[in-house]
Structure 1
């Protein structure tokens, strides 16, 4: 059986297709986007369209039982998508396809803890790919040509290691942006952090930035010029570009000064507090992730505003805030007992229709090029804000595990009550310690 499946998957790996990659225009239907078929050279698997492969890909797998990990906010939708998936293959018997809530940020760690009991198909963030490949717990994408043709080049590139595509692109928007109440902050004021804070203070509202979370706190270092610049020989340790220490220190001081000047307005809280703050009327603006779009929109309704991150003034110069930006993927467990079915399901969940549904129902940004051209994306203030911010961001790929805590600590130190924003020597040491800790030089 294992030999037969290995041969089947090898054939799947060589499958070539000519999937439709043209713009989706203003289409709002759940069409496949392509009906072109092409088989692999060795007569193996056929990719039928942007959502489905030929039933022959399943080989002799039947009475199929699979587990799927999905983020909490997507569980209901994924269950609906799986019912559609099963209906698309009436020739096959699916004993059970179980959907379990599992955050993308911890999926890689959970998979490596025990791949034999983990999900067959799972969602994960781009920074986990390197360790999944090193641990040999993620299977290469079986339909690499089709997936490459249908999705954005940057997302595919970030999912590729050693010339092998290991991840099915799921989203193209794993980043954060400025969200604001338009009755408090105007679109013009949204461009500058100083103006945002002033508007919030005047209205007696809070501003939330999750300083102590390294995913957000790294913004302070990046804006200061201390940016991720690829990988070192060990494959994960982050390098940093050459930076002007004096300029970096002044930038950190500028952030800290604003935080202290607007104490009581500027608050470092978990992002879960953003939507609830808008709902209770206590929040004027905040920095939030694309995955919370629906909750924020539901809270603000017609007063919902979205923009790229603002600038901060450093010695008379407005500097754009630089964020961390990445992608989310769907992976296949290399230890799956139904490897062919798991690949087929991953292809479906990463396909055009499912990406369009996530864009429409969850507000997630698609990596599929056809869906990127649809109204649900092009007319979305959030997606346009994230697109603009992605041009002012460091890519979240293969982040060292030592990266997160030092960056969160940096944010906490900037906002701490006992920090003196005028103490340049303090910030110089804080900067050096942060870099050393990320590089694990302690």
Structure 2
């Protein structure tokens, strides 16, 4: 009873923090004179002497470790003999890019990869360049409107989406069958050996936690996600049922909990039935499980006598340009190149990240890919657009991240 009370109190705290005062309209800062970048220059004829320029790139490990970024820098340089570019490539995860950039915008990458939910705060801080010209046109004409919306603030485009950002379900076919994975109840009811966990629970700082509440029809800031006076309704009867369901699930001995045991090791040993993750770790699990690896849309769950479809946050991962970039024309050109059809296909082939570029998505390789298929299906039937307002970001993440941990610890 005490554990359930703690979980309910944590959700109540989150709800209280999201009750808001009205939100004033935010406009992008232009004080530094570099907030708006325009056009990604095309390759030009070789000048008498190439201009020496430097470019710092912040990219995630999965873009660096297998040589993808190195290959792309070299092919870009070959297209632009008018510049003699000295690249500095530094590892920086998309999930924390905004936090690191805002520590010192001038010292951050000239070009950086980030998750789109960070965009509003980057714009508000004047840390990201507005894109225009042919780069803006490329984004608008080569991607679906829903994808374009993930990098748009007040009708202005600030980044180039390069892959979808959501999660889906992986499962071990040697432990679970197609019928088992239709629901969390089916997954947990499956009889498995004593050293096997049926489900791996990961809150991901609240990113995956929201799926349970949004799936049950609950919301934060209303259906529009911008009704700030509405706050959150997670503490109504349905929300309480969801929280109690999560308490029971997290405390179930057949549930493995993130941070206590390695998911990759469990998968490699055939000791985990199902788990939620994104496309970026597909190769890791495929190498571990081979043909035993299954993919599916996240399942339903039943917290109050009703079946609800879990709904993941949907967004994009994107490439932005620092508003303080020393060589903005080069930075915009390189960002546009990284987000181009050709580079999205190369990234897909090398890292498995599904392209947002529509033409790239029509390629035979992408059409035949099981990850691409499940992401498209999830986007259509089991997702909700991830809120990006600074009001949401400043209040939700700070409070939601600790709910699952507090439930697990029983504090």
**Which bracket does the TM-score occupy, shorter chain normalised?**
0.7 to 0.9
Asked whether the 8 Å contact 2:238–2:304 carries over to 1, the reply is no
1:320 alignment partner in structure 2: 309
2:344 alignment partner in structure 1: 355
1:267 alignment partner in structure 2: 256
1:121 alignment partner in structure 2: 111
- For the pair 1:179 / 2:170, whether they are aligned, the reply is yes
User: Residues of 2 paired with 1:158 and 1:109: CA distance?
Assistant: 19
Asked whether the 8 Å contact 1:208–1:266 carries over to 2, the reply is yes
Asked whether the 8 Å contact 2:116–2:317 carries over to 1, the reply is yes
2:186 alignment partner in structure 1: 195
CA RMSD of aligned residues (A): 2.9
- For the pair 1:390 / 2:374, whether they are aligned, the reply is no
**SS of structure 2 residue aligned to 1:317:** coil
User: Residues of 1 paired with 2:194 and 2:368: CA distance?
Assistant: 29
- For the pair 1:245 / 2:236, whether they are aligned, the reply is yes
2:399 alignment partner in structure 1: 406
Deviation at 1:99, TM superposition (A): 1.1
Alignment of 1:115-154 (within 5 A): 115-142=105-132, 143-154=135-146
The match for 2:361 among 360, 363, 372 is 372
Deviation at 1:290, TM superposition (A): 2.0
Asked whether the 8 Å contact 1:238–1:400 carries over to 2, the reply is no
1:161 alignment partner in structure 2: 153
Q: Which runs of 5+ in 2 are unaligned?
A: 1-32
Asked whether the 8 Å contact 1:305–1:381 carries over to 2, the reply is no
Could you list the per-position Cα deviations for residues 197-240 of structure 1 after superposition, in whole angstroms to 9, with x for gaps in the alignment?
2336357421211136311122232233322344548xxx6955
Could you list the per-position Cα deviations for residues 380-435 of structure 1 after superposition, in whole angstroms to 9, with x for gaps in the alignment?
222222222223223222342221242233333555558xxxxxxxxxxxxxxxxx
User: Residues of 1 paired with 2:46 and 2:303: CA distance?
Assistant: 58
**SS of structure 2 residue aligned to 1:336:** coil
TM-score, normalising length from structure 2?
0.81
Deviation at 1:63, TM superposition (A): 0.6
- For the pair 1:216 / 2:219, whether they are aligned, the reply is no
State the structure with bigger RCO (CA 8 A, min sep 6), 1 or 2: 2
Deviation at 1:379, TM superposition (A): 2.4
Could you list the per-position Cα deviations for residues 246-287 of structure 1 after superposition, in whole angstroms to 9, with x for gaps in the alignment?
222223323333444xx2211221499322211133222211
Compared with structure 1, are the counterparts of its residues 108 and 315 closer, same or farther at alpha carbon in structure 2 (3 Å cutoff)?
closer
2:96 alignment partner in structure 1: 106
Higher mean C-alpha deviation, range 224-233 or range 307-316:
224-233
User: Residues of 2 paired with 1:238 and 1:288: CA distance?
Assistant: 33
Could you list the per-position Cα deviations for residues 299-332 of structure 1 after superposition, in whole angstroms to 9, with x for gaps in the alignment?
1111110111111123442211122221111000
Higher mean C-alpha deviation, range 174-183 or range 408-417:
408-417
Alignment of 1:80-91 (within 5 A): 80-91=71-82
Q: Which runs of 5+ in 1 are unaligned?
A: 1-5, 14-44, 47-52, 419-442
Asked whether the 8 Å contact 1:274–1:296 carries over to 2, the reply is no
User: Residues of 2 paired with 1:74 and 1:200: CA distance?
Assistant: 39
User: Residues of 2 paired with 1:106 and 1:212: CA distance?
Assistant: 12
Compared with structure 1, are the counterparts of its residues 168 and 383 closer, same or farther at alpha carbon in structure 2 (3 Å cutoff)?
same
Q: How many residue pairs align between the two structures? A: 366
Asked whether the 8 Å contact 1:212–1:268 carries over to 2, the reply is no
1:337 alignment partner in structure 2: 326
User: Residues of 1 paired with 2:182 and 2:238: CA distance?
Assistant: 22
**SS of structure 2 residue aligned to 1:226:** coil
